[in-house]
């Protein structure tokens, strides 16, 4: 872990502004930020572990716990709420047989809600990993999940 973070600090620098790009790179590689990784980043950037954890826990895309292979993030904005987000969540929970915040037993999917993902004009919406899906219906959600299962 230490060697990987040293490589990242060489790439992004050792100043405070490098923190988020370094954390994003770790999440991209490992799917989440372990306590060990956050502590090492703190050492490398000469900041407190609390600052690193505070930053990581503030941003919903910087996961601090292991997640499934496919992370589903359903937008929970007011617009999404008005356009049927509850039905989309209910469909996902039924199809995946998990609740929001949980991961399927096979570690294939994690279901989360997140703040605005930038598709307010096409709600309800969700991201699966980095892929957006918009104007969702229950039927569309079922088709999407079945494609990921193949």
Distance CA 135, CA 29 (A): 30
Q: What are the chain's domains?
A: 2-58 (1.10.10), 70-149 (3.40.30.10)
SS3 57: helix
SS3 104: coil
| Digit-coded pLDDT (tens) for 46-87 | 999 999 999 998 887 898 988 899 999 999 999 999 999 999
pLDDT for position 21: 96
| Digit-coded pLDDT (tens) for 103-149 | 999 999 999 999 878 888 999 999 999 899 999 999 999 999 999 99
Sign of CA dihedral 135, 84, 118, 95: negative
pTM for the model: 0.78
């Amino acid at each position: 872990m230490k060697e990987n973070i040293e490589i990242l600090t060489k790439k992004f620098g050792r100043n405070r502004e490098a923190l988020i790009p370094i954390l994003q790179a770790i999440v991209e590689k490992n799917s989440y930020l372990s306590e060990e990784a956050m502590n090492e980043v703190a050492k490398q950037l000469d900041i407190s572990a609390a600052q690193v954890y505070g930053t990581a826990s503030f941003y919903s895309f910087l996961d601090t716990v292991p997640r499934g292979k496919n992370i589903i993030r359903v937008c929970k904005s007011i617009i999404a709420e008005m356009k049927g987000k509850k039905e989309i969540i209910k469909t996902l929970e039924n199809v995946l047989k998990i609740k929001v915040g949980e991961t399927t037993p096979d570690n294939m999917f994690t279901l989360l809600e997140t703040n605005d993902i930038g598709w307010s004009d096409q709600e309800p919406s969700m991201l699966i990993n980095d892929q957006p899906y918009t104007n969702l219906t229950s039927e569309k959600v079922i088709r999407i999940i079945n494609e990921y299962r193949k």
